[in-house]
Amino acid sequence: MQNVILVLNAGSSSLKFSLFAERPDELALQLRGQIEGLGGAPHFVAKDSAGTILGERRWADGTRFSHDDAAHQLVEFLQDYRDRYRLTAVGHRVVHGGQEFSRPARVDGELLEKLEKLVPLAPLHQPYNLAPIRAVAARAPQLPQVACFDTAFHRQQPELAQLFALPPAITGRGVRRYGFHGLSYEYIAGVLPRLAPRRRPGEWWSPTWATAPACAPCWPAVAWPAPWVSPPSTAYPWAPAAAPSTQG
C-alpha cells in the first residue's frame, strides 16, 4: 500500500484534485480530476496519470451542489482505492495568507480563524478555499492538512514595494499590495531552469495571466525563494513588470 497526499484547489464553482504517491525523491502523480459546475450542472471526472478516465458522473442542470457535496463525492470515489493507497495528508491552495503567512502552514482551529478574517481581502476566493478544509476536518479530524498560500511568494519584496500611496491608517487595516498567483510563479521559477537551461543575453522570461501583472523572478531561478528583479522596462530592481495596457 502506497502513502499518498491529496492536493485540493477549490474555486468558486469547482474543486480540482490531484493524488500523489510519496517516493524517496519525488511525488508521483497517481490520479487527478475535478468537480466543476458547482451551483449549475455539476460534472465529476477523474483520470490516471496517463489521462485515462477512471470515473465520471454528471448531475442535472440546477442541482444544488456545495463544496461539501463535492468533497463527499471525491471521498466516495477514493474509497475504491483504499486498498491501494493510504492517505497521509491533504494540501490546499489558499489564495490569501495576509502579512503573517509567508510559507505553508499546518491547519488547525487558530489558523482557520485567522484565514477567515482575510475573507474581506479576497471575498471571491477565500471562502471557497476554506470550505474543503472544513469538510475534510469534519470527516477526518486527525488527518494532517497544510495550507499553501498564493500570496506567500511575494512576501519577500521590500516593504516599500508592498505599499500603496495611502495614509498609514488605511495601510494598517491591511490595504496593501499582496501579489497573487504565487504558487504558479514559484513552480515556474523552479522548473524553468531545468526545462530551458540556456537563454540568450538580454532575454527575459516572464509568466503572465490575463487578470494579473507580469512577474519576473531573476534568471536563473534557483532555490526558493527566488530573488525579485524586474525587466529593463521597470525602474526599480524589486518591481514586478506592469501588465500590458489594454487601452487604445
Catalytic residue ranges: 150
- Strands of the sheet containing 85-94, edge to edge, are 53-58, 43-48, 27-36, 14-22, 2-10, 85-94, 145-149, 105-106
Q: For residue 72, which amino acid is it? A: H
| Long-range CB contact pairs, 111-116, < 8 A, 24+ | 111/147, 115/147
Neighbour count for residue 18 (Cβ, 10 Å):
18
Closest by Cα among 132, 97, 119 to 16: 132
CA dist., res. 136 & res. 112, Å (int)? 13
CA dist., res. 117 & res. 88, Å (int)? 28
Phi-psi region of 88 (alpha: psi -120 to 50; beta: other; left: phi over 0): alpha
Strand partners of residue 168: none
Strand partners of residue 29: 20
Grid cell for residue 151: 500570496
Closest by Cα among 2, 47, 34 to 21: 2
